[in-house]
Amino acid sequence: MQLNVSTFISLKLLEPFDDEALFHETEKSRSYLQQWLPWLNGVQTIEDSRKFIDYSIQLLDERKSMVFGIFYDGQLAGTISFNQLDWQNRIGHVGYWLSESFTGQGIMTQAVRRLISYAFDDLGLNRIEIRCALENVKSRGIPKRLGFSEEGIIRESEWLYDHFVDHVVYGMLSRDWQRDSHII
């Protein structure tokens, strides 16, 4: 499945043959990503990326999550996902990361905007939640730009290698989403 974002950007569900590209982007931005992502020590080989993709496909089949690759001009640039789908309450929890060489171009804001439209218009979700580390200014800028409400801080929400970080919770309801905001 593929969601077109713009002329150059698309979101595509990860497939097993994306393992090398996923590992390459993870590896080349490892020190950049480790500032905020706790899972990098578990990705040391292409096989680790393959296992992640296989697991994401299993969770997709179980309707528990969806992991998309973000492709810029055909090249994998990062991922965006519904880390958790709560169908009973119609809530999607969104997470994302972008390889360092692709940052600063508005790619992630556009990708999140497209995923949110898909969530509300196609999946019938009512609420989207994004959690970002309190001090991760770049990541927090995305829900702010898209009109999410800052709903609070969860203290010591995540263990990041050698310390806890607080998370800011952002929420968006379907009724508050600007339907024409997906136009670029």
Predicted confidence (pLDDT) at residue 183 exceeds the cutoff of 50: no
> Tens digit of pLDDT for each residue in 47-93?
999 999 999 999 999 999 999 999 999 999 999 999 999 999 999 99
**What percentage of the chain reaches a pLDDT higher than 90?**
84
Q: Shortest CA distance to 70 belongs to which of 131, 3, 119?
A: 3
Longest dimension (CA), the chain: 43
pTM: 0.91
The residue range of the domain holding 12 is: 2-182
What is the rounded distance in angstroms from the CA atom of residue 144 to the CA atom of residue 39?
25
DSSP 8-class letter at 184? -
Picking from 4-8, 25-29, 39-43, 125-129, which range would have the lowest pLDDT averaged per residue?
Answer: 39-43
Q: What is the mean pLDDT of residues 109-133?
A: 96
Antiparallel, parallel or unpaired: β 66-72 and 91-98 = unpaired
Picking from 102-106, 151-155, 179-183, which range would have the lowest pLDDT averaged per residue?
Answer: 179-183
Whole-number pLDDT of residue 38: 86
DSSP 8-class letter at 175? G
Whole-number pLDDT of residue 37: 87
Per-residue CA distances from 48 to 45, 62, 65, 75, 81 (Å):
5, 21, 19, 20, 18
Q: How many domains does the chain have?
A: 1
Cβ atoms of residues 142 and 108 within 8 Å:
yes
- How many CB atoms are located within 10 Å of the residue 67 CB? 21
> Tens digit of pLDDT for each residue in 127-165?
999 999 999 999 999 999 999 999 999 999 999 899 999
Looking at per-residue pLDDT, the higher value among 20 and 33 belongs to: 20
Looking at per-residue pLDDT, the higher value among 183 and 76 belongs to: 76
Give the tokens for residue 181. Answer: 């905001």
Whole-number pLDDT of residue 180: 57
What is the rounded distance in angstroms from the CA atom of residue 162 to the CA atom of residue 86?
30
34-38, 53-57, 174-178: which is most confident: 53-57
Whole-number pLDDT of residue 184: 41
Q: Shortest CA distance to 79 belongs to which of 40, 38, 25, 34?
A: 25
- CATH of residue 76's domain is 3.40.630.30
The residues with which 3 forms a beta bridge, in sequence order, are 11
